[in-house]
Amino acid sequence: MSIATLILGQSGTGKSTSLRNLNPSEVLLIQVVKKPLPFRSADWKPLTKEGGSIVVTDNPQQIMAIMNKSTRPIIVIDDYQYVMANEYMRRSQETGFAKFTEIGRSTWEIFTTAAQLADDKRVYILSHTEESESGKTKIKTIGKMLDEKITLEGMVTICLQTAIINEQHVFMTKNNGHNTVKSPIGLFENEHVENDLNAVDKAICEYYGLTTETNQATEA
């Protein structure tokens, strides 16, 4: 069973930037929205048979197929909220609730797939946040119907959230009663850690006793 982790935060608070210290050869980066990475990223190239790391798609079936096929130990889905939002906008002229049910099912399937890969796989799902009616910060979705059926944070064991404290970009590791942050006991010593996904990944591997050997096989 793979380990799926949510990384939540508003735009510009350090989610994508947290990839900066990862080794691209160990990562499959699924960009839901095609855009330049917010750091020097000459080694991050489109995935081909010869190598590369980046695939661009917002299609749920393609995302799951890519995840199942990948030989990389780390999979990152960036801007996940647009998987839901893009589909909703494409179907905005449809009436009725069928589209919400189908979008919700696709999201449930992706999160389920993220947790059912090989034991040494780590999947990081980066997504925007929103405030619920109760005032709690949570993953951004497409409305009440999905939220009433699925608690996406409940489908993962680790959920971190970005914050900017004293001009430093960090991840929150412990719940403050007003968010959905959570992490296993003893995984992180501090309430805040640097927004470094490489360091987070190493901590998770050490905590769960996972191998970090790189599979150098190419994919396409």
Give the contacts of 11 (CB within 8 A, at least 6 positions apart).
128
Distance between CA atoms of residues 199 and 205, nearest Å: 10
DSSP 73: S
Question: Residue 2: pLDDT above 50?
Answer: yes
**3-class DSSP assignment, residue 28:** strand
State the Rg of the chain over Cα: 17
Write the pLDDT tens digit of every residue in 16-40: 999 999 999 999 999 999 999 999 9
Residue 220 covered by a domain: no
First to last CA, the chain: 24
Residue 63 covered by a domain: yes
Helices within 37-132 (DSSP H only): 60-69, 81-90, 98-114
pLDDT mean across residues, the chain: 93
Domain total of the chain: 1
Residue 156 covered by a domain: yes
Write down the residue that tokens 């996406």 correspond to: 152
Residue 42 covered by a domain: no
Write the pLDDT tens digit of every residue in 101-131: 899 999 999 999 999 999 999 999 999 999 9
Which residues is 126 bridged to in the sheet?
7
Residue 214 covered by a domain: no
What number is the average pLDDT over the span 175-204?
97
Residue 85 covered by a domain: yes
CATH for 22: 3.40.50
Residue 1 covered by a domain: no
The pTM (predicted TM-score) of the whole model is 0.94
**3-class DSSP assignment, residue 102:** helix
Write the pLDDT tens digit of every residue in 138-182: 999 987 767 788 899 999 999 999 999 999 999 999 999 999 999
Distance between CA atoms of residues 204 and 3, nearest Å: 9
Residue 41 covered by a domain: no
Containing structural domain, residue 84: 6-34+49-208
b (16+ CB within 10 A) / e for 113-127: bbeebeebbbbbbbb
DSSP 72: -
Side chain identity at residue 129, one-letter code: T
